[in-house]
């Protein structure tokens, strides 16, 4: 269930974050029995147990499990443009959701597409209030129970009519409850450098005045401090405090032919930053990079022909490709049931390839939440301690990212249920690493190999992608002509952000108007060569089947609707992708001249 309208925050990283001095998250002391936050969680747990034991409706299945997820956040939003501070807001918000399952773990109301079912909203006070929250949980459980019983009945009818065989259970046991983390929120007002951050974004945004070719631009700082709690009727009660910060620069302009273009980058942080000379220097370098690259893109020529030869993804772009494909398609969440059958379009593609070849035999893909990295966590949202997984071993899909919801081919959680501050839970990567056992190529050797393969396909040029457009920062593309629609089993990749045409003599030309055609996941079996030096890219992606790097979240919601992940990969040379020419009428040029361009 999405509660994104209640929680708004942040921006997504476009490139590896530089080293930034930050105040580390202090170890939170365990609350005493007198802690109001602990007493509140105990009250919620008690009400959940009472609901499971006493909620009954004649002729309807009884509940067997209940869960409440709730969050309180403190959000600082700063926005500056052309040297003026236009937003400076510090606010506190809260939200909660109750989920009830009726029937049994073998067959319950979940995983049915046809309404909210056993999920209802919980009104959460801004401060700890055990009696108030217990009452709201009672009301939410009553609503969820009615929805759950109705959903269970509809699902039973659908299953009887469809006569689907071989369905897995709807839920699996957690086993031993993982270590509980019961911490109280400690938000020190003085530790948040609001004034200093405001001056930083003003100073950074003043640089826009030096670039009359840029129409609009903003510098954002978003600080989201969240106190996230999950309590269930099986004995889990977990609370954790997170400090998530982004410093983002976004800008847009128009090319001479009227094509609207945008660009954005961000520094991505865990922990409240210290506004020192190092951060100021990194911020100024960031805004300079965004404006310089956007100006160059506006002046770049349009691609003049479609291309279906090999493509080289360098550095950040290679990580973004994996975050747009593997991050969603390796999840073990099964397709939901609907009146017309299983909605296979919502099933991750790699489930059908479990135990089969999905990448070249020299590739291994490892996901390790316990490793030091941006995606580190100790306990998932369902109370399961995560395992290190070789998702792909010698090119063969060896594991799926499993929650407590099994699929026809795999059962049992491996600790991959992750929860965003907007309380959506889904199977997602953590610290993902691509390793290659074959010879790794230096930059020049990779480009020679790229051109050689392109000539075999009849092309005198080839293409190098340095980055993909960051929809998590910029939102949806405003040009209809930039859309390429995917068919069954196809993955829609983001637009290239920076793509170069490479000629035989080594000349590189920045291009615009390039669209990546929808591709099959089989394209990852066509990794022909890898670079010598891996790049580590921390980023924030949405959970669930519509998550990953390709989710067009936009700067206002990216902190609330994402989880922290990290991808480490060398450059990747792929066959099987098609570059299309964006064709369509561009917007008309503005009637009035941009005020900073007068006198040019």
Beta pairing, strands 63-81 & 84-102: antiparallel
DSSP category for residue 153:
H
Compute the distance between CA of residue 310 and CA of residue 528 in angstroms, rounded to an integer.
9
Name which of 111-120, 222-231, 410-419 the model is least confident about. 111-120
pLDDT at 442: 95
- Residue 85 structure tokens: 């501070």
Compute the distance between CA of residue 244 and CA of residue 232 in angstroms, rounded to an integer.
26
List pLDDT tens digits, range 209-221.
999 999 999 999 9
Domain architecture of the chain: domains with CATH: 22-299 (3.30.2290.10), 311-581 (no CATH)
List pLDDT tens digits, range 17-47.
333 333 333 334 444 446 899 999 999 999 9
Beta pairing, strands 496-503 & 490-491: unpaired
SS (H, E, C) 498-553: EEEEEECCCCEEEEECEEECCEEHHHHHHEEEEECCCEEEEEEEECCCCCECCCCC
Compute the distance between CA of residue 334 and CA of residue 85 in angstroms, rounded to an integer.
47
Angle at 434 between CA 431 and CA 437, to 5 degrees: 145
Compute the distance between CA of residue 510 and CA of residue 499 in angstroms, rounded to an integer.
6
pLDDT at 113: 84
Residue with tokens 């029995």: 33
Beta pairing, strands 496-503 & 84-102: unpaired
Where is 202: in which H helix or E strand? helix 194-205
Compute the distance between CA of residue 102 and CA of residue 596 in angstroms, rounded to an integer.
63
Compute the distance between CA of residue 577 and CA of residue 351 in angstroms, rounded to an integer.
22
Compute the distance between CA of residue 566 and CA of residue 540 in angstroms, rounded to an integer.
8
Picking from 335, 318, 315, 326, the residue whose alpha carbon sits closest to that of residue 389 is 326
Q: Which residues, in sequence order, are CB contacts of 195 under 8 Å at separation 6+?
A: none
DSSP category for residue 295:
H
Cβ atoms of 385 and 378 closer than 8 Å: yes
> What are residue 566's DSSP bridge partners?
431, 538
**Burial (CB count within 10 angstroms: exposed 0-12, middle 13-18, buried 19+), residue 264:** buried
List pLDDT tens digits, range 43-83.
999 999 999 999 999 989 999 999 999 999 999 999 999 99
Which is more confident, 390 or 191? 390
Name which of 118-122, 179-183, 367-371, 401-405 the model is least confident about. 179-183
- Residue 280 structure tokens: 């100021």
Band of residue 163 on the pLDDT scale cut at 50, 70, 90: confident
List pLDDT tens digits, range 514-546.
999 999 999 999 999 999 999 999 999 999 888
CB atoms within 10 A of CB 165: 5
Residue with tokens 């976004």: 250
Compute the distance between CA of residue 265 and CA of residue 258 in angstroms, rounded to an integer.
23
Picking from 506, 504, 493, 509, the residue whose alpha carbon sits closest to that of residue 579 is 493
Compute the distance between CA of residue 569 and CA of residue 364 in angstroms, rounded to an integer.
11
- Distances in Å between the Cα of 534 and the Cα atoms of 162, 207, 319, 572 are 49, 33, 10, 10
pLDDT at 550: 87
Instruction: State CA 364 to chain mean position distance.
Output: 22
List pLDDT tens digits, range 443-487.
999 999 999 999 999 999 999 999 999 999 999 998 888 877 665
Where is 262: in which H helix or E strand? strand 260-270
């Amino acid at each position: 269930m999405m509660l994104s309208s209640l929680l708004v925050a942040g921006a997504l990283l476009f490139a590896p974050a530089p080293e930034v001095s930050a105040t580390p998250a202090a170890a939170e002391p365990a609350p005493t029995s007198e802690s109001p936050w602990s007493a509140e969680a105990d009250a919620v747990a008690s009400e959940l147990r009472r609901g499971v034991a006493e909620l009954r409706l004649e002729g309807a299945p009884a509940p067997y499990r209940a869960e409440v997820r709730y969050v309180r956040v403190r959000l600082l939003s700063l926005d500056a443009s052309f040297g003026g501070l236009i937003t400076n807001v510090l606010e506190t918000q809260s939200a909660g959701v109750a989920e009830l399952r009726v029937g049994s773990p073998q067959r319950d109301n979940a995983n049915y597409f046809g309404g909210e079912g056993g999920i209802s909203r919980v009104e959460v006070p801004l401060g700890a209030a055990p009696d108030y929250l217990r009452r709201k949980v009672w009301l939410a459980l009553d609503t969820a129970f009615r929805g759950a019983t109705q959903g269970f009945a509809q699902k039973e009818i659908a299953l009887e009519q469809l006569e689907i065989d071989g369905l897995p259970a709807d839920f699996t046991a957690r086993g031993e409850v993982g270590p509980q983390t019961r911490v109280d929120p400690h938000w020190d007002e003085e530790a948040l450098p609001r004034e200093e951050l405001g001056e930083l974004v003003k100073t950074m945004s003043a640089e826009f005045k030096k670039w009359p070719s840029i129409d609009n631009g903003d510098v954002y700082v978003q600080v989201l401090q969240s106190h996230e709690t999950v309590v269930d009727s099986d004995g889990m009660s977990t609370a954790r405090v997170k400090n998530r910060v982004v410093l983002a620069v976004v800008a847009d302009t128009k090319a001479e032919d009227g094509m609207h273009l945008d660009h954005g980058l961000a520094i991505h942080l865990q922990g409240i930053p210290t506004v020192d000379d190092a951060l100021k220097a990194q911020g100024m370098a960031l805004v300079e990079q965004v404006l310089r690259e956007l100006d160059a893109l506006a002046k770049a020529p349009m691609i003049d022909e479609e291309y279906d030869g090999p493509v080289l993804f360098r550095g950040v772009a290679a990580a973004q490709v994996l975050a747009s494909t593997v991050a969603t398609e390796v999840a073990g969440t099964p397709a939901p049931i609907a009146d017309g059958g299983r909605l296979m379009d919502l099933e991750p593609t790699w489930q059908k390839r479990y135990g089969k070849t999905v990448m070249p035999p020299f590739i291994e893909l490892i996901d390790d939440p316990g490793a030091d990295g941006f995606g580190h966590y100790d306990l998932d949202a369902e109370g399961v301690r995560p395992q290190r997984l070789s998702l792909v071993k010698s090119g063969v899909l060896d594991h799926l990212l499993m929650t407590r919801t099994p699929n026809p081919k795999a059962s049992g959680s491996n600790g991959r249920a992750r929860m965003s501050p907007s309380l959506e839970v889904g199977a997602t990567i953590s610290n993902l690493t691509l390793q290659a056992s074959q010879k790794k190529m230096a930059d020049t050797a990779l480009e020679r190999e790229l051109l050689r393969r392109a000539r075999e396909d009849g092309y005198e040029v080839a293409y190098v992608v340095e980055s993909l457009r960051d929809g998590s920062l910029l939102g949806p593309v405003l040009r209809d002509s930039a859309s390429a629609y995917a068919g069954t089993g196809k993955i829609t990749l983001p637009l290239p952000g920076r793509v170069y045409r490479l000629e035989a003599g080594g000349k590189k030309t920045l291009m615009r108007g390039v669209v990546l055609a929808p591709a099959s996941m089989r394209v990852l079996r066509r990794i022909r060569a890898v670079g010598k030096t891996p790049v580590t890219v921390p980023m924030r992606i949405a959970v669930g089947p519509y998550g990953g790097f390709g989710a067009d979240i936009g700067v206002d919601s990216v902190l609330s609707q994402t989880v922290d992940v990290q991808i480490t990969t060398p450059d990747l040379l792929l066959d099987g992708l098609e570059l299309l020419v964006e064709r369509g009428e561009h917007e008309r040029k503005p009637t009035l001249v941009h005020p900073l361009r007068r006198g040019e």
